Amino acid sequence: MPALLDLDESIRARTRMDPQPDGCQRLVLPYPAVLDLARGLDRQRGRLHGSNVARVELAALTLGIPPERYLRNGSAYSLAEQARLLGSRMAMVGLGGLGGHALEILARAGVGHIRAADGDEFQPSNLNRQLLCTRRSLGGYKAAAAAARVKLLNPAVDFEPVAEFLDEPLMERFLAGADLALDALGGLSDRPALLRQAARAGIPLVTAAVAGQAGFVATVLPGATGPADLFGPGGANGAGGAGAEDTLGTPAPAVVTAAALMSAEALNILCGRAPRLAGAMLVFDLEAMSFERVRL
Amino acid sequence: MHIAIRCFASLSRFTPPDAEAFATTPGETVGQLAQRLGIPPVDLKLVFINGAHVELDAELADGDRVGLFPAVGGG
């Protein structure tokens, strides 16, 4: 096996020229080479310090060589931005409709460290929209299904599942060390607490919710007003009122749209760009096919 | 004077037939408009005019595009 300092050399040796859809030839580190080189590192140094797949991919990106699995990200993320994604830390709460689809996108994108919490188990009413809910996963923990899915998708992702409902003190610990918080909760009740704790942690919060064909996505910077401040914690038949989803439901098109939008914004932030929705909400209505930015 | 109204999610049932050119009078506030449409105050959480969040005492102007939003928390 190559000595430690030979990783760059090993990567160069396994790199090949690949024709791209635009006709250009491009250096690429093939997918099997990443796995081979990571296995070699596993034998040399063990897996104690995170994924060696991520280590190989990071080394390749640093050499200016894209790993094959990220090729079709095209120029949406530069090699430096892709490397930054691999080094980034995200904390997401909720692994239902929004969280399952967001996790799918973020794991495929190569967000290197994802901590995700949900104490819930799958039930049949989740089948209309939740990516991680299948006939097989019914009755099981959402966090366990998420861990299995991430392992299947991208071994470069260091995934930390938490099969617990987080109260506010737990949220504080859960967000520690994260670069970004993702609010993929269902319902109104826990969202204000997550907004507060993200502000306390000093990190941006990307939030989204839907009801029927309508929904929104927003980014809340620490200390700024967020949708949860306006909507409140709700409460059945209480003065706070119910969320509109209690009557309109949560159909898949709106949920997947919101999850894709929040993932795109999360990737913008994690790869080092300015948040595009800071202080604003993107409000959509798929029945009218309308999208509108609202300044909060 | 006329405004355009869009009622989102559970508020869509309060959309008036002439929502694209809804007659209003100078000085009418967003809160008064919501009341005229029959929207229960507890259900109205976010109002925006021409893409900016406003409070219920904001006055309407000719040509305004008004959005009315309930609490939305589904995921």
Q: What is the pLDDT of residue A47?
A: 65
Query: In chain B, where are the structural domains located?
Result: 2-69
Q: Kindly give, in sequence order, each residue whose CB lies less than 8 Å from that of residue A109, ignoring residues fewer than 6 positions away.
A: A73, A77, A85, A263, A267
Alpha-carbon distance A13 to A37, whole Å? Answer: 11
Q: What is the pLDDT of residue A237?
A: 46
> How many residue pairs bridge chain A and chain B with CB atoms within 8 Å of each other?
111
Alpha-carbon distance A174 to A200, whole Å? Answer: 12
CATH architecture for segment(s) B2-69: Roll (3.10)
Across residues A83-108, what is the average pLDDT?
A: 98
Alpha-carbon distance A231 to A188, whole Å? Answer: 8
Q: What is the pLDDT of residue A49?
A: 53
Across residues A181-206, what is the average pLDDT?
A: 97
Alpha-carbon distance A217 to A95, whole Å? Answer: 17
User: Is the CB of residue A286 less than 8 Å away from at least one CB of chain B?
Assistant: no
Q: What is the CATH number of domain A87-295?
A: 3.40.50.720
Of residues A21 and A195, which shows the higher confidence score?
A: A195
Q: What is the pLDDT of residue A45?
A: 75
Interface predicted TM-score (ipTM) of this complex, two decimals:
0.95
Across residues B31-50, what is the average pLDDT?
A: 97
Give the nearest partner residue to A215 out of B42, B46, B72, using CB atoms. B72
Percent of chain A with pLDDT strictly greater than 70: 95
Give the nearest partner residue to A241 out of B8, B71, B75, using CB atoms. B71
Q: How far is CA A239 from CA A90, A235, B43, B55, in A?
A: 34, 7, 10, 19
A269 within 8 A of A204, measured Cβ to Cβ: yes
Alpha-carbon distance A171 to A246, whole Å? Answer: 25
Q: Match 């396994």 to its residue by tokens.
A: A14
Across residues A66-78, what is the average pLDDT?
A: 95
Alpha-carbon distance A186 to B17, whole Å? Answer: 33
Q: What is the pLDDT of residue A51?
A: 84
Query: In chain A, where are the structural domains located?
Result: 4-77, 87-295
Alpha-carbon distance A23 to A9, whole Å? Answer: 28
CB contact under 8 A, B73 and A245: yes
User: Is the CB of residue B73 less than 8 Å away from at least one CB of chain A?
Assistant: yes
Alpha-carbon distance A285 to A282, whole Å? Answer: 10
Mutant choice from A195, A283, A285, A287 vs B, greatest count of B C-beta within 10 A: A283
Residue A48 pLDDT grade (very low, low, confident, very high; cuts 50, 70, 90): low
For residue A11, pLDDT beyond 80: yes
Residue A238 pLDDT grade (very low, low, confident, very high; cuts 50, 70, 90): very low
CB contact under 8 A, B74 and A232: no
